[in-house]
Amino acid sequence: MTDNKKNTLQHIAIIMDGNGRWATKRGLPRLAGHKKGAEAVKIVTEAAAEAGVKYLTLYAFSTENWQRSPEEVNGLMSLLRDYLKTDFKEIQEKGVRIRFIGERHMLASDIVEEMEKIEKQTINNDRMTLCIALSYGSRQEIVQAARKIATLAKRGDILPEDVDIKMFSDMLYTKDMPDPDLVIRSSGEQRISNYLLWQVAYAEFYFSPVLWPDFNKETLNAIIEDYNHRERRYGKA
């Protein structure tokens, strides 16, 4: 069992990986893995809230994922429409605030409309914040932040010496959120995949062999327990 007294975690970020492999191992279509993965989202979100985590950011769909086959992308978008009206409603009813980060202009207008509705409906929920990275790419986010700062400088609103870490962070999608303390990637892969590159500068990492659809409360609690035994120095001796 996780010792919440020792748990100093504010923010966990997860790269949800392995849906397709989970389905392939069972002779099922890839979308079956994505459906099962959506169940894991609900389970892990509740487990994180119970563990006292205040922010949970999940990498749901990257800007690079748009390069997948049209059949898979269309299937994922169809599933997303369903999830926004069902699964996310169930999550918000448990007092969780829901936010979305990413390139919204790449998504269909009806999906964006539903996302914005959910954000407004849950803005006062304070049990935990669930942040969904959807059509998200960290390099793109950083470039956009640089453009915003360049625009301010061109207008004369700021000077070059005004630019600091806080200003840059405030230009990112994750402004007003603490940086992740812990980044988890499922399925055994050991890479960041263009995820929160600026924000994870001092995060701890955990690479789990468990495929995302098999993630559950016990899996998450074991990882939190591992984190609690680590010593975080932030560059200090």
**Residue 219 main-chain phi, psi, to 5 deg:** -60, -50
Q: What is the mean pLDDT of residues 222-236?
A: 86
pLDDT of residue 89: 87
pLDDT of residue 34: 95
pLDDT of residue 3: 44
pLDDT more than 70, % of the chain: 95
CA distance 116 to 18: 28
CATH class of the domain at 11-137+179-228: alpha beta
Q: Are 51 and 11 in contact (CB under 8 A)?
A: no
Global pTM value: 0.93
pLDDT more than 90, % of the chain: 91
Q: What is the per-residue pLDDT across 110-131, written as a single tens digit (0 to 9) for each?
A: 999 999 999 999 999 999 999 9
Which amino acid appears at position 185 of this protein? R
pLDDT of residue 178: 97
Average per-residue pLDDT for the chain: 94
- Three-class SS state of 79: helix
pLDDT at 4 over 80: no
pLDDT of residue 5: 42
pLDDT of residue 66: 97
pLDDT at 94 over 60: yes
Confidence of residue 237 (pLDDT cuts 50, 70, 90): low
Catalytic residue numbers read 17, 65
- Three-class SS state of 234: coil
pLDDT at 1 over 50: no
pLDDT at 7 over 60: no
Domain boundaries, the chain: 11-137+179-228
CA distance 28 to 30: 6
Q: What is the mean pLDDT of residues 72-78?
A: 94
- Between the CA atoms of 206, 208, 212 and 214, what dihedral angle is there, to the nearest 10 degrees? -130
